[in-house]
A and B are shown apart, each in its own frame.
Chain A
Amino acid sequence: MNIPYPVFIKRTEDTPKWLPVATSIGAVLLAFIISAIILAATGADPFKVFSYFFKSSFGSWGAFSDVIVKAIPLLLIGLGCSLAFRMRLWNIGAEGQFYIGAFSASLVVLVPLVPLDTTPRLVVISLMMLMGMIGGALYGFIPGILKAKLNINEVIITLMLNYVAVLWNNYWIFGKWSDAGFPMTKAFPKVAWLPRLAEYAKEIPAFSGMTMHAGILFGLFAALMVYLIVYRSKWGYKITLIGDNPRAARYAGINITRNTIIVFMVSGALAGLAGMTEVSGVVHRLQEGISTSYGFSGVIVAWLAKLNPLAAILVSILFGALLVASREIQPSGLSFLIQGITLFLVISSDVFLKYEIKLVRPAQETAQ
């Protein structure tokens, strides 16, 4: 066989710091280019589509606020996943932890745990946050302890538990808490709503109609916390060490069982908090389909951000924009097409980080 341009591949010894960033951006751009080609093939004008795409997500402050609303759960879930992935714990159960978090937070209103007409809003919301995180953490505890004590594959467990969580939620919203037979509960009273920008429209008229809620603060705060944990703390060092070589970590005296459980619980708590922001900040009730597969998109966010918590902020905004645009565009599958292509390209772009690839042209060869 005669290859016209022999490819020369070699393992790279040193990866410059800018390269991972460059390949991620390159992967996203390439994903758009490939999508453009597909669009053109279907007879659409890719430039028109993309400009509309852009307008519908970044065209106005109102649109951007919608993007942020979508980005909040993605960011929280992405952060949780990136922490677990750093320890090579493949938590694919964010979707389930999200639903259980939403359910537990809703308990505050639906049981109710506190008298809603007398308790101040701050207390109700704090309690909902706490409940959401506890719910998610407990749901993360199940695969955590099974993995730590019995070494049961966490991918299978977390994946299965996703269905359990969705069906558990359905049981309550179709049954006991159903609002006039619809698969949703009654709307929460205002005291259980996360503050929105629109609420301050009286003071600042520009905020009128803006849906962005206080959940963004949780997201940013969580990103900062995860950043400090991973890059500054002793605990982050332990997680990284366990992730790279668990046997070495054990030899260094690190308790792997305990850390596996804790990381799974923290990961679950963040997903649970995302569920809480969705019921308390967006839909204001527990209902069917509160997640447009946030739990799975969060996995993509974590990977695309290369497990960096600060990069996750930007990536979740990008993915939020894709979700918002998908509402405006027919067929709406286009957004998911771009998402899929992006993930594929990001994962395959790792090749450029690990190997140096050169084309050897025949001209060069004879010159030697």
Chain B
Amino acid sequence: MISPEKQNPTPAVDMQDIVLRFPGVLANDHVNFTIYPGEIHALLGENGAGKSSLMNVLTGLYKPQSGEIRIHGEKVNFSSPRDAIAAGIGMVHQHFMLVENQTVTENVLIGLDAPRFALNLKKYDQEISNLAEQFGIHIDPTAKIWQLSVGEQQRVEILKILYRGANILIMDEPTAVLAPQEADELIETLKGMAAQGKSIAFISHKLTEVQHVANKLTVLRRGRVTAERMDLTDFTRESLASLMVGREVIFNLHKCEQTAGPEILRLEDISALNNKNLPALRNVDLALHEGEILGIAGVAGNGQSELVEVITGLRTCTGRIWLEGKDIANKPPSFSISQGLAHIPEDRIGVGSAPNLSLTSNIIMKRYDQQPVSQKWQLNYLAADKLAGGLKTEYDIQAPNVHTQARKLSGGNLQKLILARELSSAPRLVVAMQPTRGLDVGAIESVQQLLLNQRSLGCGILLVSEDLDELLSLSDRIAVMYEGHVVGVICSGDFDITQIGLMMTGTLPHDLPRKAETEETPAAGTPSSFDEVLEDLRQYQESAQTEQPGEIDSSSEVEELAEEPQQPEPAAPPEDLFLNLSEKERVLRKVLGEKYKQGDEE
């Protein structure tokens, strides 16, 4: 294949020596960035490396202090985003800008001069449908935005840009909001568009994804280019990571061997409803010990959030939750906080912080009622600032000072702020939900190390994550959740990604076919290809249909078993409790596909 560069010698975008300065920050320091037509060029870098600033220069939002931008060889000088749109540049932001109650077509047409007064929607529906087809985008132009999935909404954003005649597309971390399958579809669409001559800038900090999608790669670190227009084949995951963060990233964390102490948390027969008043947790039993990390695995939406909320007192439930001998079920959050429970919430901005308040105010959120911050009815702001200042240094929170508003912190620094607040109070139990999601490599490493430090201090940690690799490397035991049940709990010696994957689809551990083998030699039980996994699944499914899955094998090596699912209607056939075979296959492909794809190549 001839590279796009040789086919067409004029770059679509040519940014040379861009310098962008904000008060106190050099966002872009003599940055070069070029894209040729038909190319997908990845822009990789940590949060705050200057990727978004550079793209905002290209879209006319920021004016660089010096530097030159040429679009298709012509020198341009954008003074507003309008100029950039006119030059054929469009950006898909991470957060969509769509009107929920209007149709796809209406959203695409918003802000355009073309339909003046009378709106012949049918004509435009057809036009947009044709445009979508041209680029292989599947969408119904008459659908209302609220009816669409996140992935489909993103397609509307792309259509908006295409309809405006853009041939240079900037995608700002487009896969961050997507499910794995949707991400694959997006990548296909992008490749299709590139094949038709569009130029695409792809901003990301996910290394594996970049390797899939891009032709060329530019890496930014602290506003400077550390790798310019490189071919992706020249890199390994490790070398890319070190280009991004400027040092060797340890993908293997230091985790010391230690035996778990006495029990610290026990959940007995916990059931709870979700926000739609449907059962989200069904008779969950779990135990957690001192100095132990209990990972919770599962496909998103199988009761993990509700489990965390129930433990932290944010959701009512039935059953009992014992934290060091005290029942904390259905107690207000203040009670469990006073009992030494720390909570690292999933939603850092929406729940974990007060964005317009200062670093100090955010740090003392759970401590305003304790000495020395609390002085009778008063709040001692000097002591609070001092506390915040100390934690800012200790946890390396990058911010001008303790009076900086929390919303001005980058994602990684905000998470460090939350960790500083939660972990500095010497907690007995840490409940962490998705603590590393959306963070860049360097921040992920420090967050994980902080959790391991708490573990060695004898703290019990409940870690909910959708990142199986993270769970495997951090957890002492992993509990797998499916439809509100804990399907089973596996100890670290027996970790087997296939088994976990099967359990995530609702397969009970005692039914797993290779149990006997895994007991002796865990490695031997690991199927070598995806087909074998599917074969196992089929065998299980057949046996489940003939036998009654209800007898629990007490000799199972699995430490705890879920209660047998409570059937709402006794008449329902047992296999209906779980997904049917094809459904399971789909989920398995999603969970394990990546793993085996890599495995098969090797």
Report the Cα distance A234→B371, complex, angstroms.
12
Q: Which residue of A lies closest to B408 (CB)?
A: A13
A365 contacts B77, C-beta separation under 8 Å: yes
Across the interface, A241 reaches (CB within 8 A) one of B338, B354, B369, namely B354
B79 contacts A365, C-beta separation under 8 Å: yes
**Nearest CB on B from A308, distance (A):** 16
Query: For A255, what are the chain B residues with a Cβ–Cβ distance below 8 Å?
Result: 332, 334
Q: Which residue of A lies closest to B335 (CB)?
A: A253
Q: Which residue of A lies closest to B64 (CB)?
A: A368
B23 contacts A253, C-beta separation under 8 Å: no
**Nearest CB on B from A278, distance (A):** 31
Across the interface, B337 reaches (CB within 8 A) one of A233, A234, A247, A253, namely A253
Report the Cα distance A8→B368, complex, angstroms.
42
Across the interface, A253 reaches (CB within 8 A) one of B334, B374, B377, namely B334
The interface bits of chain A over 204-233 (1 if a CB of B lies within 8 angstroms of the residue's CB, else 0) are 000000000000000000000000000011
Q: Which residues of B contact A (CB under 8 A)?
A: 22-23, 62-63, 77, 79-80, 312, 314, 332-335, 337-338, 343, 345, 347, 350-357, 361, 364-366, 368-369, 374, 377-379, 408
Query: For B350, what are the chain A residues with a Cβ–Cβ distance below 8 Å?
Result: 245, 247-248
B354 contacts A237, C-beta separation under 8 Å: no
Query: For B369, what are the chain A residues with a Cβ–Cβ distance below 8 Å?
Result: 234
Q: Would you call the interface of chain B mostly helix, strand, loop, or mixed?
A: loop
A248 contacts B351, C-beta separation under 8 Å: yes
The interface bits of chain A over 1-40 (1 if a CB of B lies within 8 angstroms of the residue's CB, else 0) are 0000010101001100000000000000000000000000
Query: For A252, what are the chain B residues with a Cβ–Cβ distance below 8 Å?
Result: 333, 337, 365-366
A61 at the interface (CB under 8 A from B): no
Q: Which residue of A lies closest to B56 (CB)?
A: A10
Q: Which residue of A lies closest to B62 (CB)?
A: A10
B356 contacts A244, C-beta separation under 8 Å: yes
B332 contacts A6, C-beta separation under 8 Å: no
Query: For A327, what are the chain B residues with a Cβ–Cβ distance below 8 Å?
Result: none
A254 at the interface (CB under 8 A from B): yes
Across the interface, B378 reaches (CB within 8 A) one of A233, A240, A360, namely A233
Ranked 6 nearest A-B pairs via Cβ:
A253-B334, A244-B354, A252-B365, A253-B333, A6-B79, A245-B354
Query: For B333, what are the chain A residues with a Cβ–Cβ distance below 8 Å?
Result: 250-253
Report the Cα distance A254→B312, complex, angstroms.
13
B22 contacts A241, C-beta separation under 8 Å: no
**Nearest CB on B from A256, distance (A):** 11
A168 at the interface (CB under 8 A from B): no
Across the interface, B80 reaches (CB within 8 A) one of A6, A235, A237, namely A6
Query: For A254, what are the chain B residues with a Cβ–Cβ distance below 8 Å?
Result: 334
Across the interface, B357 reaches (CB within 8 A) one of A8, A232, A244, namely A244
Q: Which residues of A contact B (CB under 8 A)?
A: 6, 8, 10, 13-14, 232-238, 240-241, 244-245, 247-255, 360, 365, 368
7 A-B pairs with CB atoms under 8 Å apart are A13-B23, A233-B377, A244-B356, A245-B351, A251-B343, A254-B334, A360-B63
B368 contacts A237, C-beta separation under 8 Å: yes
Query: For A6, what are the chain B residues with a Cβ–Cβ distance below 8 Å?
Result: 79-80
A232 contacts B379, C-beta separation under 8 Å: yes
Given contacts A10-B62, A365-B79, are A234 and B334 in contact (CB under 8 A)? no
A237 contacts B361, C-beta separation under 8 Å: yes
A251 contacts B23, C-beta separation under 8 Å: no
Report the Cα distance A236→B22, complex, angstroms.
34
A240 contacts B361, C-beta separation under 8 Å: yes
Report the Cα distance A238→B332, complex, angstroms.
16
**Nearest CB on A from B332, distance (A):** 7
Query: For A251, what are the chain B residues with a Cβ–Cβ distance below 8 Å?
Result: 312, 314, 333, 343, 345, 351-352
Query: For A245, what are the chain B residues with a Cβ–Cβ distance below 8 Å?
Result: 350-351, 353-355
Given contacts A234-B377, A365-B77, are A253 and B354 in contact (CB under 8 A)? no
Report the Cα distance A191→B347, complex, angstroms.
60
Report the Cα distance A226→B79, complex, angstroms.
47
Report the Cα distance A10→B61, complex, angstroms.
8
A248 contacts B365, C-beta separation under 8 Å: yes
**Nearest CB on A from B188, distance (A):** 36
Query: For A236, what are the chain B residues with a Cβ–Cβ distance below 8 Å?
Result: 379
Q: Which residue of A lies closest to B376 (CB)?
A: A234
B79 contacts A360, C-beta separation under 8 Å: yes
List 4 additional contacts besides A234-B379, A247-B350; criterion CB under 8 Å: A233-B377, A234-B374, A253-B333, A365-B77
